[in-house]
A and B are shown apart, each in its own frame.
Chain A
Amino acid sequence: MTSPEHPLPPALHAPSPHTPATLPGWRLERASHGRLDFIDSTGQRHGDVDVLRAFPVSAPAGPVVIVATDGAELAWIDPLSDLDAPLRGLLETSLSQREFLPVIERIESVSDGEPMEWSVVTDRGPRWFTVAHIDDIVYAPDGSVSITDSVGVRYAIPQLSRLDSRSRRLLDRLD
């Protein structure tokens, strides 16, 4: 996941002794290879936990969950801002890798038929991917578009109306 030279302290204690007010009863530790260990209120250690958002699309700032490797829920954090800064930072770093969401800035071409072959320019550079089905392109009522490619990577268009007209035409043609 995280590279070892990631600029973060090697360990972070959730209930920092100086800030007992936000004491959640558990803490997180950075383990080797950027993994996170979760130590629950009884002191039991869960290695390599996963941090994720419960509503990544509909409430991207909403509740965050810490999940053990076996899928069991360890902690429910809602909202994240209740936590003290170091712990929050640790969680946000972990989330940011999970929430890899390139923003499409321009559509170069979209092939006809399914699967569609897309060639786009994102905020993270140019990209070529395939979309298996038209249902994988989801138009939200707020004007944003979410596209999931055939390997599960999501791409976002935050505001369709702000896309250039050629890209919009390419997208329009798909319906």
Chain B
Amino acid sequence: MSALKSRIASPSAGASNGSLSPGAGDRFELESGEKVVASCRFDLDANLRFTDGSIVLTDRRLMADPPASADGGPAFDGSPRSWRLDPETTIDVHLRSAVGRIELAQQGRVVARWLFTPARAKGVHALEDAFDARVHGQTPQSRDTEADTDTDADTDTDEQPESGAPAGGKSLSEDEPAASGMGTSWRALFRVLAFARPHASMAILGIFLTLASTVATLVPPYLTMPLVDSVLIPKQAGEPIPFAHVWWYLGGLALAATAAWLLSWARSWTLAWVSERIAADLRVKTYAHMQTLSLDFFSGKRTGDLMSRVGSDTDRINIFLSVNVIEFASNVMLVVLTAVVLIWINPWLALVTLAPFPLVVWLVYAVRTGLRRGFARASVAWADMTSVLADTIPGIRVVKAFAQESREVARFSDSNDRVLDANDRVNVVWAFFGPLVSLFSEIGLLVVWAAGAWMVFSGSVTVGMLTAFLTYISRFYGRIESMIHMVPATQRAATSAQRIFDILDCQPTVAEAARPINPGRVRGRIEISNLHFRYGAREILHGIDLTIEPGEMIGLVGTSGSGKSTLANLVCRFYDPSSGSIKIDGNDLRDLSITDYRRNLGCVLQEPFLFFGTIAENIAYGCPTDATSDPDELRQRIVAAARAAGAHEFILAQPLAYDSRVGERGGSLSGGERQRLSIARALLVDPRILVLDEATSAVDAETEAIIQAAIDRLVAGRTTIAIAHRLSTLRRANRLVVLDHGRIAEMGTHDDLLAAEGAYARLYHAQQKAAEEAAAGV
């Protein structure tokens, strides 16, 4: 149990006696041969001011620095203090609110008290567990050496107990996509480029075509220069120039225009092809990654928000890449090449022409800051509006039942107003900015006219040159104007990219082992030892010990919040325990391959979920569909499962029998019918371990009897964990386990527990009485 040794054992602590320096202000002297067992930090002093202190548990002492955050014993002088461990020493951790308390008592008298915030709870609890194990040997069943190493391993996995991270893992920055600063958003946009790598050849072709089409658009103004200077003006001056010369130039102009058209057509198509694929890859990758994430990710997220991340955000990136980036790239090339051509023709006139350009660039930069926050706000407002829809449309029955339609419309209208408001603010900046750039380009033209006219008069430029300059410059400023559209587009795309990478960067809290064991088909022996589970700072399970034999049915009984569902979720490995272990056939659950293990698992939940599809498809949902499997055989198995689940006959009554479509939530089927379909679904996978979570609580008594018969068939020969409020549904259970506030209160058969006259007996009699009263009432 040297759980936190790794952290304490900083380089200076290699020797067993010497001063440890785990952090600033920690000065612990170890005696020779003394070993650190656990440590934790606390962060509040007696006056509830933030501080930083630590407590270290060794194999013989408990040490603290500063000695105590609340004065519970003799006055302290500021130096570390230690207390010898003896069986009369107890530690008590109390955490009900934002302030937790650790109390050290000797002979029943509190000798020290420390205060901490929930940020430190994980470490404190680990220390408490280690303390109890060391001093009172409270690790149940006097843990053997193997169990010891296990615990070491799992404490290692939840390192950083003091980082304050809740059990939920890395959270998404949902409220302020750009809150972490523009840097990360821009970086997110660059990360999108990694998705272009598989299409690199097309992307390079696209860039080449962009360059070529830009060059082609620069040719026509250049041709006007000789056309004016050596054809039109001499002709006007009376020189005999044949019209054929004009034809040459016109032909060149037409050719350049055609080439520009063809090249930009090819360019648009190529780059749109690439960006479409980048967005498609992003979508699939985001969704696939979302599927690997653990349940706690989804419980903390709004469906609408996730949907808009996978859907609209990837699409926005697609549009950004296929429209804005192409435009921007060709604009930049055009601006650069135009500048080069102008300088080449006449450096002085070029200088005058390009002078306002830095001013425009500065303006773009200044406005960027203003627009940035506006777009982030608009994006959040939009997500909020989507969330209102995702929230109320599935809950429409409740809305209507309580006649709250107008309130929901008002709610939607409110969030719509926020979208409007956010967009208005952006538009204010925007509306001012666009015309300003137009003004600059007008001024630029004026400057060129003035300088050009002056230069023509002084004879340093020709009329043809001036014509070419004017043609170039009008394009030049036109491009700058459209380049400015790039700013909000980039901003928006960067925000979207950030929202997507937020998901992609989320790590599943239930992680696959480095070298997962494929359990194959398990026998179904479940050993739960000293199982603790904390969600955030709250401990839900406090040391559960339970062994379930293969084929045994366990009924979990207890009030809401007693930890029944949590225990079932841990057996399904939807979450990992905080400490302790669950072993399946002797293998730790965390070492097994998650999907291979879950193939052994069948779940029937309180709210049966049916996917959009036919009844047959829903029953076969858990079956791996490979092309080699015989559809006839699968159909036979589907029918057999439906028969066993008592679903066969109502399925035949549907318009298309097994091929009838059921909707998102089961459509026309009743709750009991949907539940029987979900039992058939569980039967078809022939699970070794079955979890029934309140499978019959949502149906009436008559339907319950049918479902109960189906469940009885389902349970036979499988290790079963059944949760039920109605005790009558657990009559087939081999053993009943009564949970109370995360602990096992009682365990035994129905008769044993009745005879014991404990919590179970009280619950049973209460239900009997209620049932009798109900019967009498009818």
Contacts and interface: CB of A to CB of B under 8 A. Distances in A.
Contact of A54 (B612, B631, B650, B652): B652
Interface residues on A, range: 20 to 34
A79 to B, nearest CB: 9
Given A52-B652, A56-B656, A152-B655, A62 B635 contact: yes
A67 B651 CA distance: 11
A76 B652 CA distance: 11
Given A57-B656, A73-B648, 12 more contacts: A52-B657, A56-B657, A57-B659, A58-B616, A58-B631, A58-B635, A58-B658, A62-B635, A63-B639, A71-B653, A73-B649, A135-B661
B632 interface: yes
A171 interface: no
Interface string A19-59: 00000000000000000000000000000000011111111
A56 B656 CA distance: 6
A138 interface: yes
29 contacts: A52-B657, A53-B657, A54-B635, A54-B652, A54-B657, A55-B616, A55-B635, A55-B658, A55-B659, A56-B656, A57-B614, A57-B656, A57-B659, A58-B631, A58-B635, A62-B635, A63-B635, A63-B639, A67-B652, A67-B653, A71-B650, A72-B649, A73-B649, A73-B652, A135-B661, A135-B663, A138-B661, A152-B655, A154-B656
Given A59-B632, A135-B661, A54 B653 contact: no
Contacts of B653: 67, 71
A58 B614 contact: yes
Interface string B644-672: 00001110110111110101000000000
**Interface majority SS (helix, strand, loop, mixed), chain B:** helix
Contacts of B659: 55-58
Nearest to B612: A135
Given A55-B657, A56-B657, A152-B655, A71 B649 contact: yes
Interface residues of B, number: 20
A59 B631 contact: yes
Q: Which 6 pairs between the two chains have the least Cβ-Cβ distance?
A: A57-B659, A54-B657, A71-B649, A55-B658, A71-B653, A54-B658
A160 interface: no
Contacts of B661: 135, 138
B632 A62 contact: yes
Given A55-B658, A62-B635, A63-B639, A71 B652 contact: yes
A54 B640 CA distance: 12
A52 B655 CA distance: 10
Interface of B: 612, 614, 616, 631-632, 635-636, 639, 648-650, 652-653, 655-659, 661, 663
Contacts of A71: 649-650, 652-653
A138 B660 CA distance: 12
Contacts of B639: 54, 63, 76
A152 B656 CA distance: 10
Which of A62, A76, A152 is the most central at the interface, judged by chain B CB atoms within 10 Å of its CB?
A62
A82 to B, nearest CB: 14
Interface string A133-146: 00100100000000
A121 interface: no
A150 to B, nearest CB: 13
Nearest to B643: A73
A65 interface: yes
Contacts of A73: 648-649, 652
A87 B318 CA distance: 62
Contacts of B648: 73
Nearest to A133: B663
Nearest to B639: A54
Nearest to A58: B659
Given A54-B658, A57-B659, A135-B661, A65 B635 contact: no
Contacts of A76: 639
A173 to B, nearest CB: 22
A88 B78 CA distance: 98
A54 B661 CA distance: 13
Nearest to B659: A57
A40 B29 CA distance: 91
Nearest to A53: B657
A138 B662 CA distance: 13
A56 B651 CA distance: 12
A65 B656 contact: no
Contacts of B657: 52-56, 65
Contacts of A63: 635, 639
Contacts of A58: 614, 616, 631, 635, 658-659
Which of B612, B659, B661 is the most central at the interface, judged by chain A CB atoms within 10 Å of its CB?
B659
Contacts of A54: 635, 639, 652, 657-658
A138 B613 CA distance: 10
Contacts of A154: 656
A152 B660 CA distance: 11
Contacts of B663: 135
A14 to B, nearest CB: 20
Contacts of A65: 652, 657
Nearest to B613: A138
Nearest to B649: A71
A46 to B, nearest CB: 14
Contacts of B635: 54-55, 58-59, 62-63
Contacts of B636: 78
A71 B648 CA distance: 10
A56 B663 CA distance: 19
Nearest to B617: A58
Interface string A62-91: 110101000111001010000000000000
A76 B648 CA distance: 11
A56 B616 CA distance: 12
A59 to B, nearest CB: 6
Contacts of A62: 632, 635
A73 B663 CA distance: 25
A154 B656 CA distance: 10
Contacts of B616: 55, 58
Contacts of B652: 52, 54, 65, 67, 71, 73
Contacts of B632: 59, 62
A93 to B, nearest CB: 19
Contacts of B612: 135
A132 B663 CA distance: 14
Contacts of B656: 56-57, 154
A171 to B, nearest CB: 19
Contacts of B614: 57-58
B653 to A, nearest CB: 5
A138 B663 CA distance: 13
A53 B636 CA distance: 13
A135 B614 CA distance: 12
Nearest to B642: A54
Interface string A119-141: 00000000000000001001000
B168 to A, nearest CB: 36
Nearest to A138: B661
B616 to A, nearest CB: 7
Contacts of A78: 636
A63 B634 CA distance: 13
Nearest to A68: B649
